[in-house]
Structure 1
Amino acid sequence: MTASTESSNAGAISPKKISAYWKKQAPNIIPPLIGILAFLIVWQLFSSSGLTRLPGPVSVWTNQRTRILLLYPFYDRGGLDKGLFWQTLASLGRVAQGYTLAAIIGISVGVLVGTQPLINKALDPIFQFLRMVAPLAWVPIALVALQQNQPAAIFVIFITSVWPILINTAEGVRQIPQDYNNVAKVLQISRKKYFFNILIPSALPYIFTGLRIAIGLAWLAIIAAEIVMSGIVGIGFFIWDAYQQNYVSEIILAVFYIGLVGLVLDRAMVYLQKLILPEE
């Protein structure tokens, strides 16, 4: 009985462990909470002053329509009348398709231009020209070319997010130490072994930098595209529809969703980078 009791106590979470954990995590938790609270207070005071028509955080919660959206994000009444979870999920699905395509093509072409200086000289002016075009400028072009909202939105995500991946990958390939290349030539390493054992591992930090920048651009692009495109389920169209009906509190709530999802996407990319490159 004594051994069993000791084993049970050993597996339990003691108050001392909780206290130690809190002391360790408090410096990382308390400052952000203070910052968020201060921001909400300033926002509420600014709203209550009458200097702006934007509702404060208290009004966002007390508004019946906004509170329903906040408490019931999973409702689905068919058509475009869906909760914010489904709106956000639809946008994320488009982002996943466009971003995946951008990652595949961006890394592939980046490796090509990074290893072939002549091709890089030929294509670099085109890349620099295209990457300066704003995402919204691609929307009418995509709609004319593809004739449908869904593929047009995916194309806008792709064309917006491919450039940081491509450019960072090419730069990472060019930054491979010359000693590595010399050793590969001396040992007569095959192209396949050189690619997987030298090129990709050396360029990975640059590739992840491009991927992290691109995921933020992809999320921004789909919001802009959905605002312009009508009749599709998505958080961007939800914002535009709420604006058309003068539901300002709903717009603010949707902006909160956008910022939260963008933060999660960025943190997920950082976690993936640390998982694959722990030394970083």
Structure 2
Amino acid sequence: MVSAVFHSPLEHAPATPATAITNIANNAQTASAAAAKASKPTRSSTPARAARDWTALSRTFWLAVLPPALGLGLLVGLWALVSASTGRSIPTPYETWLQAVEVFSNPFYRNGPNDQGVGWNVLASLQRVAVGFGLAAVVGIPAGFAIGRFAFLSRMFNPLISLLRPVSPLAWLPIGLLVFKGANPAAIWTIFICSIWPMVINTAVGVQRVPQDYLNVARVLNLSEWKVLTKILFPSVLPYMLTGVRLAVGTAWLVIVAAEMLTGGVGIGFWVWDEWNNLNVKNIIIAIFVIGIVGLLLEAALVKLATAFTFEEVRT
């Protein structure tokens, strides 16, 4: 059975040119209006986006500021509680703050060789740390590369490092006084011998953890030892070496305070001991904060230095 479907002739009649042009123009206007509507931001979306951005910014700010502020507030609260419980033999935070304002109003005065401002004492300590730490870096980092690179040197020096590293820093001070016949070189010697171990150990560990495939390729290519050191070992070892440097500078700053308490002269450690002899507890607490802030600044400076000199491949 065959069924036929009939359509009106108008349905299949070709459109006239005028009708086609009108249809194209109408379609273009509709498309442009839809695009403009889609690209135009609504009034309700802009304030909502601004509110979300402000919420995210404030959240980031409070997460960065609030925890340190709470920790500092907890410290001050415990300090005030201890001061009240000891009959104020330990000064209160407010009394110490007033004393700190007076101390830092003129930190670079000189009234004699043993009576100088806190600024001169900090600079003297930093000078000793720079000399002792610099000598330790000059000796310790190449020694770490050699010990990590050659198995014979590693077996030779590992027992010596394990023996000498745990020795207390102050145990080295009498040896320095005996050998160098002076308090200043003895303090520098103590910084040197105590800050060299982190750099030697971390550098050697970094060299030993270089993938063996890299060294095999260098052997196949007949690279010189200098090329192996500069092109393969140094980029790979740099993070370990910088970790050793950060640990060493913290140790150096820690040691100089104890060494200066015993050797005397000018320095932040001597200033603490001198204020104890004068029974000036406020200045001792101020010195504790100064020592901590200077150590924090040294740590931050080394982090910036490490970021600046780290290769992009190591950083990622």
TM > 0.5? yes
Which residue of 128, 149, 158 maps to 2:162? 128
Moved more, 66-75 or 262-271: 66-75
Residue 238 (structure 1) aligned to one of 251, 254, 271: 271
Q: Which moved more, 1:264-273 or 1:236-245?
A: 264-273
Find the counterpart in structure 2 of residue 254 from structure 1: 287
Give the match for residue 10 of structure 1.
Answer: none
What letter matches 2:70 in structure 1?
A: I
Partner of 2:133: 99
Give 1:275's aligned residue.
Answer: 308
Cross-structure match for 1:229: 263
Deviation of the 1:131 alpha carbon? 0.9
Separation (CA, whole Å) in 1 of partners of 2:80 and 2:125 = 30
Give the 3-state SS of the residue equivalent to 1:79 in structure 2. coil
Q: After superposition, where does 1:74-93 map in structure 2 within 5 Å?
A: 74-93=108-127
Distance 1:90 1:22 in 2: 42
Matched with 1:43 is: 79
Distance of 2:188 and 2:131 partners within structure 1: 7
Structure 1 residue 174 corresponds to structure 2 residue 201: no
Q: CA deviation at 1:24?
A: 4.1
Larger radius of gyration: 2
Matches for 1:110-189 after TM superposition, within 5 Å: 110-189=144-223
Q: Is the 8 A contact 2:199 2:241 kept in 1?
A: yes
CA contact (8 A) 2:140 2:197 kept: yes
TM norm structure 2: 0.78
The aligned residue for residue 204 of structure 1 is: 238
Q: Which residue number in structure 1 is paired with residue 43 of structure 2?
A: none
Alignment of 1:7-86 (within 5 A): 24-50=60-86, 53-63=89-99, 66-86=100-120
Q: TM-score, normalised by structure 1?
A: 0.87
- What CA distance in whole angstroms lies between the structure 1 residues aligned with 2:129 and 2:55? 41
Aligned residue among 215, 219, 228 for 2:253: 219
Alignment correspondent of 1:4: none
Deviates further, 270-279 or 172-181: 270-279
Q: CA RMSD in A?
A: 2.0
State the shift of 1:70 in Å.
2.8
Q: Distance in 2 between matches of 1:26 and 1:275?
A: 28
In 2: Cα distance, 1:123 partner to 1:175 partner: 18
8 A Cα contact 2:82 2:90, kept in partner:
no
CA positional deviation for 1:20: 8.6
User: What is the one-letter code of the residue matched to 1:143?
Assistant: L
AA of the residue aligned to 1:56: T
| Matched letter for residue 80 of structure 1 | N
Whose relative contact order is higher, 1 or 2, with alpha carbons under 8 Å and at least 6 apart?
A: 1
Identify which of 285, 293, 296 aligns with 1:263: 296
Residue equivalent to 1:9:
none
Structure 2 vs 1, CA of residues 103 and 49 (structure 1 numbering), >3 Å: closer, same or farther? same
SS of match in other structure, 2:111:
coil
SS in 2 for 1:241: helix
Question: How far has the Cα of 1:195 moved from its partner?
Answer: 0.9
Deviation at 1:209, TM superposition (A): 1.1
What amino acid does structure 1 have at the position aligned with 2:285? Answer: I
Is the 8 Å Cα contact of residues 141 and 241 (structure 2) preserved in structure 1?
yes
